[in-house]
Amino acid sequence: YLFVQVENVRLLDRVSSRKATLGTLYLTATHVIFVENASETRKETWVLHSQISSIEKQATTATGCPLLIRCKNFQVIQLVIPQERDCHDVYISLIRLARPVKYEELYCFSFNPKLDKEERERGWRLVELSAEYNRMGIPNNYWQMSDVNRDYGVCDSYPTEVYVPKSATAHIIVGSSKFRSRRRFPALSYYYKDNNASICRSSQPLSGFSARCLEDEQMLQAIRKANPGSDFLYVVDTRPKLNAMANRAAGKGYENEDNYSNIKFQFIGIENIHVMRSSLQKMLEVCELKSPSMSDFLWGLENSGWLKHIKAIMDAGIFIAKAVAEEGVSVLVHCSDGWDRTAQVCSVASLLLDPYYRTMKGFMVLIEKDWVSFGHKFNHRYGNLDGDPKEISPVIDQFIECVWQLMEQFPCAFEFNERFLIHVQHHIYSCQFGNFLCNSQKERRELKVQERTYSLWAHLWKNRADYLNPLYRSDHSQTQGTLRPQIAPCNFLYKFWSGMYNRFEKGLHPRQSVTDYLMAVKEETQQLEEELEVLGERLASLQKVQLNDNKVRSKQQDQNKELGRSTFNISLANTPQEYNNDLKSFPSRSPSQGDEEDSALILTQDNLKSSDPDLSVNSDQESGVEDLSCRSPSVGGCLPSEDSGKDSDEAVFLAV
């Protein structure tokens, strides 16, 4: 690749055009890098090419040629490049770099966290689905693993190991698969061992207006019978009824209750990927508005329909969880192909039903189970390789948001925190790890992803201390059993997630983080517990022996030194926003005023810098960022630092 370097580029502040930083722009094979000129800070902004969702070259102005880069992790970067020609070069290069055509061009194939082969393999083994089905209680009298798809011979978007009712013979499975879109036959997603009810998933039946398939009917019968306590089976079609009906004309459609014995058929209207894509687009336009009024914002949010869609997905998940846990009835879920809405709904229901999926490890397992293994088309949906833009849709983003909405309603129920969700979202797009490559297990195996790349889960697990919810306790009542979200009235329970969609505008977020504060408290508590034990022992031995031991004394002095330090170093670098445009024309503030406090603050920031590089990046004095960093155990801002080994693509763009 051409290594591009452009001097005197200005990086604009999203909110205030007055606040811009001058620096140098570099394009490497994997990153866009902006390095600030200011010698004392030299802040760096790193953006992975795979995060870039669009590049816009705007009309040249007197000051230069503006370039707008929008990212899939909702970062928006505005650059002004002095020379039109340079801007054009950067633009052309980025267009090419942001749209790789071969998997080998993706960052995960060059990313090297310096782990040996064994560590890499151990990382990939962290999440094992066969162990997960064992945990659910499978195999048992009713369910077993089938190798009918061992060479992807029946369904190329399914995993090789599929769990099906014991009574479903290979003949039934194959027959059923021929009657389902893309041969995605009904298979087990979740088994609720308390009452034998299960959640199965498939694609739509090829029923058209009247077609039937004996094996498919037998398959559903087998699923129902695998739950002897219930005399019927719910079949949930997650599409709006109209969409499902339209599919009949194309020889697809939905189950006819008359043809299947003992099923109850139910539509739950979740819109398709195209509606969702445009909904997100509209919501992001609202997020990008410069100083919007409250009405602009609420109108725009409503108009985007985003929260309505989130609620629809939640409603479907709640319906299924209720059917399984309360009614003891098994459910078969499908949409059209059974890899988008079906994945969302099955994973939301599983999360509601099983506390394990609300732990960090369990959440990883859940994504592997319902998304990765069942052939959610990560490459197409998240545009990893250059492809059809109509295939792109924020399907898993919506699931991640559903989890956040639940976290807001059940603050003690999840082992992980918001930062964890944000980092998972980030890496679904980053292509830094191999987990989410390709569109199916088959493709990943052909590409030898596990031999050539690293697993995200191992990386997150290594840093799990950063991702813990301090309010989580495994013996807390909220961590037991099924979560039952309030059903009515409930509209107001679904809220705009600024932590995600305005993630890089730190000025919009609470300036003090309760989570970070509590994490620091918990860490200190742990240290205190350890110290208490040591002190207790020493006291006991002293009282017993009454000997003078100089060594102990010197240790004691060290301890005392520690006591002097304050626990929470909360510093507040905080400047006003633009509350009024009128003030712009007022003579600048006299140097004698207000600076005392600022300089004191800068010192604090310097102190922090040495101990915690991420925090120093967050506190931008001049850009109007009001930043208050509670010292957190070892965590940076909410950005995946270290990920690329160089404080990657985040941090710097905190400007409001």
Using the minimum distance from each CB to another protein, give the nearer residue, 447 or 521. Answer: 521
Task: Single out the residue of 551, 563, 565, 584 in contact with another protein (rule: CB under 8 A).
Answer: 563
Interacting residues with another protein between 461 and 480 (CB under 8 A) = 470-471, 473, 476-478
Q: How far is the CB of 549 from another protein (least distance, A)?
A: 8
Part in contact with another protein (CB under 8 A); list of ranges 39-47, 113-121, 195-203, 568-576: 568-576
Burial class (CB in 10 A: 0-12, 13-18, 19+), 89: middle
Q: Residue 190, CB half-sphere, CA atoms under 13 Å: how many?
A: 36
Interacting residues with another protein between 284 and 313 (CB under 8 A) = 287, 291-299, 301-302, 305, 307-308, 311
Part in contact with another protein (CB under 8 A); list of ranges 19-27, 149-157, 263-271, 498-506: 498-506
Query: CA-CA distances (angstroms) from residue 551 to 291, 368, 531, 538, 554?
Result: 63, 53, 17, 12, 5
Given the residues 200, 335, 346, 630, the one annotated as active site: 335
Interacting residues with another protein between 91 and 110 (CB under 8 A) = none
Q: Tokens representing 481?
A: 């059993």
Q: What are residue 44's DSSP bridge partners?
A: 35
Using the minimum distance from each CB to another protein, give the nearer residue, 140 or 512. Answer: 512
Using the minimum distance from each CB to another protein, give the nearer residue, 374 or 472. Answer: 472
Task: Single out the residue of 42, 85, 589, 646 in contact with another protein (rule: CB under 8 A).
Answer: 589
Task: Single out the residue of 531, 599, 611, 646 in contact with another protein (rule: CB under 8 A).
Answer: 531
| DSSP conformational letter for 64 | B
* Amino acid at residue number 349: A
Strands (E), 245-355: 263-267, 330-334
Q: How far is the CB of 565 from another protein (least distance, A)?
A: 13
Residue 383 burial (CB count, 10 A) = 21
559 in contact with another protein (CB under 8 A): yes
622 in contact with another protein (CB under 8 A): no
Q: How far is the CB of 491 from another protein (least distance, A)?
A: 4
Using the minimum distance from each CB to another protein, give the nearer residue, 83 or 577. Answer: 577
Q: How far is the CB of 293 from another protein (least distance, A)?
A: 7
Distance between CA atoms of residues 395 and 274, nearest Å:
10
Task: Single out the residue of 153, 594, 599, 611 in contact with another protein (rule: CB under 8 A).
Answer: 594
Residue environment code for 92-121, b if the CB has 16+ CB neighbours within 10 A, otherwise e = ebbeebbbbeebebbbbbebebeeeeeebe
Using the minimum distance from each CB to another protein, give the nearer residue, 81 or 656. Answer: 656
* Amino acid at residue number 351: L
Task: Single out the residue of 154, 392, 413, 437 in contact with another protein (rule: CB under 8 A).
Answer: 413
Interacting residues with another protein between 391 and 410 (CB under 8 A) = 409-410
572 in contact with another protein (CB under 8 A): yes
Q: How far is the CB of 589 from another protein (least distance, A)?
A: 6
Q: Tokens representing 578?
A: 């633009």
Residues in the interface with another protein (CB under 8 A) total 95
551 in contact with another protein (CB under 8 A): no
Using the minimum distance from each CB to another protein, give the nearer residue, 446 or 529. Answer: 529
552 in contact with another protein (CB under 8 A): yes
Binding positions are 272-273, 335-341
Using the minimum distance from each CB to another protein, give the nearer residue, 164 or 236. Answer: 236
Using the minimum distance from each CB to another protein, give the nearer residue, 119 or 597. Answer: 597
Task: Single out the residue of 486, 599, 611, 634 in contact with another protein (rule: CB under 8 A).
Answer: 486
576 in contact with another protein (CB under 8 A): yes
Find, among 247, 309, 240, 234, the residue nearest to 269 by Cα. 240
Using the minimum distance from each CB to another protein, give the nearer residue, 22 or 539. Answer: 539
Task: Single out the residue of 502, 618, 623, 648 in contact with another protein (rule: CB under 8 A).
Answer: 502
Q: How far is the CB of 367 from another protein (least distance, A)?
A: 24
Distance between CA atoms of residues 359 and 263, nearest Å:
34
Task: Single out the residue of 521, 602, 613, 642 in contact with another protein (rule: CB under 8 A).
Answer: 521
Binding positions for substrate are 272-273, 335-341
Part in contact with another protein (CB under 8 A); list of ranges 52-60, 173-181, 459-467, 583-591: 583-591
Q: Greatest CA separation found in the chain?
A: 94
Q: How far is the CB of 624 from another protein (least distance, A)?
A: 9
- Measured in degrees and rounded to the nearest 5, phi and psi for residue 191 equal -120, 125
Q: Is 335 a catalytic residue?
A: yes
Residue 227 near residue 257, CB atoms below 8 Å: no
Residue 469 near residue 413, CB atoms below 8 Å: no
Q: Tokens representing 449?
A: 């992803």
- Measured in degrees and rounded to the nearest 5, phi and psi for residue 164 equal -140, 165
- Local structure of 517: helix, strand or coil: helix
What DSSP letter does each residue of 131-188 carry, written as one string? HHHHHHT-SSSSEEEE-TTTTS-S-TTS-S-EEEETT--HHHHHHHHHTBGGG---EE
Interacting residues with another protein between 153 and 212 (CB under 8 A) = none
538 in contact with another protein (CB under 8 A): yes
525 in contact with another protein (CB under 8 A): yes
Task: Single out the residue of 496, 617, 632, 636 in contact with another protein (rule: CB under 8 A).
Answer: 496
Residue 428 burial (CB count, 10 A) = 23
What DSSP letter does each residue of 214-246 carry, written as one string? HHHHHHHHHHHHTSTT-S-EEEEE-S-HHHHHH
Using the minimum distance from each CB to another protein, give the nearer residue, 614 or 626. Answer: 626
What DSSP letter does each residue of 528-569 carry, written as one string? HHHHHHHHHHHHHHHHHH----HHHHHHHHHHHHHHHS-S--
Q: How far is the CB of 42 from another protein (least distance, A)?
A: 27
Query: CA-CA distances (angstroms) from residue 122 to 196, 362, 556?
Result: 33, 17, 42
266 in contact with another protein (CB under 8 A): no
Interacting residues with another protein between 596 and 615 (CB under 8 A) = 596-597, 601
Residues classed as catalytic? 335
